[in-house]
Structure 1
Amino acid sequence: MSTAAIPGAPLPVRTPGSRARGRHRRPERPEIPAGSPSLVLAVPAAAGPESRPVVEELLSIVRGEQPGIEAAAAYLGSTDPEYPTIAGLLAQAAEAGLPAPVVVPLLPGPHGSLTELHRLAAETGAIVTDVLGPHPLLAEAVHVRLSEAGLARADRARLFAIATAADGVVLTTAGGEEAAAAAGITGVLLAARLAVPVVPAALDVPGSVLAAVEHLRATGSVRPALAPLVIGPEADPELLATAAEETGCPGAAPLGAYAALGQLIASAYLSALEIALADEA
């Protein structure tokens, strides 16, 4: 029996697999030169039991993606010395005479914490990369989370019926109207994967998610669903719960420690490192 026939069973998603041979094989990661700056994964939240597991898992993925990388996480706020703040970690590197770190924001799009992050980096000479999105891998991650919740078809090429699949998706963000606007590109990519309309909305703008759901319903959607384009730490969990309650729509889980996010983090670091090394040459 296929999983599609089992109520509540997650729907598998076909994702591109890596090819081991030939010209399509996955490119090897470059070797990191000795004395290169470390990677600081900037978490836009205070350290806490909700964010730590996701962050630690992503760091593990990054280290697996790029052997030899020196990577650590830092938080906007922390009262536990085991989990340093961004300000503290950058200052520590400067005091030790180490190369200014490459700071990768753990964000899929624009967010209010970026202003503070850039200010802290400017004080120490640290490099701040772009946020992780928009990117096709983020659309893939959202698709997987929707499928796990039974809200998305696993594969457009398979023509079996799935009664629980949503016929419209609200792509929810954290970061105000700017984040919602930036999510439009990922929304287009997601719509192409799902073959249903996708509308972005801001969790932290009152009425934004409800308006997006009403728009989908007005255009014919009868089973809209909510799909967070948030990794987790950057969004107040209460906002997600409130959006679900106000709209009456089912929703997928945040992206969390999805493996492709580790790839994006490693790629952001390597791109910044390449530029830094070229400037020194």
Structure 2
Amino acid sequence: MTASKHLHDESTSLDSTATLMNRISSQLASQLSLVSLDGRRRATQPPLVVVAHGSRDPRALSTVRGLLQRVREARPGLDVRLGHIELNAPLLPDTLAELDSDEAVLVPLLLSRGYHVKRDIPEMAAGSGVRARVADALGPHPYLVEALRDRLDEAGWGRTPGTAVVLAAAGSRDPESRTDTGRTASLLSERLGVPVLTAYASTAGPTVPEAVERLRSLGHRRIAVASYFTAPGRFATECAAQAPWIVSAPLGTHPAMARLLLHRYDRCLPDRMNAAA
């Protein structure tokens, strides 16, 4: 081998080694940029933690898991987790403790403002060590009206003279919760073109039978009950049993629910992430 050929081969080998080392250094720097000072991995977007209330009815947990699967399918690559306020595992503090990120967006799977949204969820998040942004409650929103209308259609809804709707919700002592539910009833009334009265399964009034009687006194004879619940459970079952005509299924895994969860999530993202979305 000539001296010039030997020098050429050596130079090529060094160039290849340098290229490899540069590539390794670049990849290492990229990986380190995803790790915060406390060792947690930074995600390009914070995880979405859906916060459900929890229920003793096994159908509720199954339904919520199905809804989260719809969210994952709609936003591939997003870390979507579930945490409960009570009754079901995982509880929200446990979910936050298991995150690979030091920040998260918490979206309540709750249909109106109330104690859980204002106090319980923020307090649980504050004790976690995770920088958590808590999104607004889901309602009121046109996506909910879309889901309510579709559920009524599935139950056999048809607008005829004398038709009306009772919007059956869980109930809350918080006046803002009642305001939110009333706004949803107004939006649904506009969509259906019939009167819609709110009713509550607990805490607040009127009850479903009381709302039905009120509508009957106004001359309505075909009164449907729209289940304003995120999943099956005791309250939804009790309200359904009080329906004088058709009753819709809970909102459940309706596609609009998945879109709404992502909408609430996106509204909590920093401007830099919204710009990149």
Same fold (TM over 0.5): yes
Matched, 1:175 2:171: yes
Quote how far apart the aligned CAs of 1:140 are: 1.1
Quote how far apart the aligned CAs of 1:255 are: 0.6
* Alignment partners' CA distance in 1, 2:87 and 2:201: 25
Q: Which residue of 1 aligns with 2:133?
A: 127
Quote how far apart the aligned CAs of 1:172 are: 1.2
CA gap of 1:250–1:46, structure 2 versus 1, over 3 A, is closer
* Alignment partners' CA distance in 2, 1:202 and 1:180: 10
- Please tell me whether the aligned partners of residues 54 and 61 of structure 2 are also in contact (alpha carbons under 8 angstroms): no
* Alignment partners' CA distance in 2, 1:246 and 1:59: 30
Matched, 1:106 2:105: no
CA gap of 1:238–1:55, structure 2 versus 1, over 3 A, is closer
Matched, 1:63 2:66: no
Quote how far apart the aligned CAs of 1:148 are: 0.7
Aligned residues: 227
SS in 2 for 1:266: helix
SS in 2 for 1:262: helix
1:78-97, aligned counterparts within 5 Å? 83-93=89-99
* Alignment partners' CA distance in 2, 1:66 and 1:218: 48
Structure 1 residues 51-91: Cα deviation after superposition (integer angstroms, max 9, x where no partner)? 22222221122122222211111122367xxx421011123
Where in structure 2 are there 5+ consecutive unaligned residues?
1-41
The partner residue of 1:202 within 200, 203, 217 is: 200
Q: CA RMSD in A?
A: 2.6
- Please tell me whether the aligned partners of residues 227 and 240 of structure 2 are also in contact (alpha carbons under 8 angstroms): no
Give the partner amino acid of 1:116: D
Q: Which residue of 1 aligns with 2:154?
A: 148
* Alignment partners' CA distance in 1, 2:243 and 2:61: 30
Where in structure 1 are there 5+ consecutive unaligned residues?
1-32, 154-161
Matched, 1:257 2:253: yes
- Please tell me whether the aligned partners of residues 111 and 175 of structure 1 are also in contact (alpha carbons under 8 angstroms): no
Structure 1 residues 122-159: Cα deviation after superposition (integer angstroms, max 9, x where no partner)? 22331110011111111111111111111234xxxxxx
Q: TM-score, normalised by structure 1?
A: 0.72
Quote how far apart the aligned CAs of 1:34 are: 4.3
- Please tell me whether the aligned partners of residues 46 and 76 of structure 1 are also in contact (alpha carbons under 8 angstroms): no
Q: Which residue of 2 aligns with 1:226?
A: 225
Give the partner amino acid of 1:121: A
Structure 1 residues 83-132: Cα deviation after superposition (integer angstroms, max 9, x where no partner)? 42101112333xx6x22211111112134433211211122331110011
SS in 2 for 1:58: helix
The partner residue of 1:269 within 253, 265, 268 is: 265
- Please tell me whether the aligned partners of residues 90 and 100 of structure 1 are also in contact (alpha carbons under 8 angstroms): no
* Alignment partners' CA distance in 1, 2:87 and 2:212: 36
* Alignment partners' CA distance in 1, 2:66 and 2:208: 30
Q: Which residue of 1 aligns with 2:234?
A: 238
- Please tell me whether the aligned partners of residues 198 and 206 of structure 2 are also in contact (alpha carbons under 8 angstroms): no
* Alignment partners' CA distance in 2, 1:78 and 1:242: 19
* Alignment partners' CA distance in 2, 1:181 and 1:201: 13
CA gap of 1:243–1:58, structure 2 versus 1, over 3 A, is closer
The partner residue of 1:36 within 45, 69, 72 is: 45
CA gap of 1:170–1:78, structure 2 versus 1, over 3 A, is closer
* Alignment partners' CA distance in 2, 1:185 and 1:206: 16
Q: TM-score, normalised by structure 2?
A: 0.73
Higher helix share: 2
- Please tell me whether the aligned partners of residues 199 and 206 of structure 2 are also in contact (alpha carbons under 8 angstroms): no
Quote how far apart the aligned CAs of 1:203 are: 1.5
* Alignment partners' CA distance in 2, 1:64 and 1:271: 19
Q: Which residue of 1 aligns with 2:54?
A: 45
Quote how far apart the aligned CAs of 1:253 are: 0.9
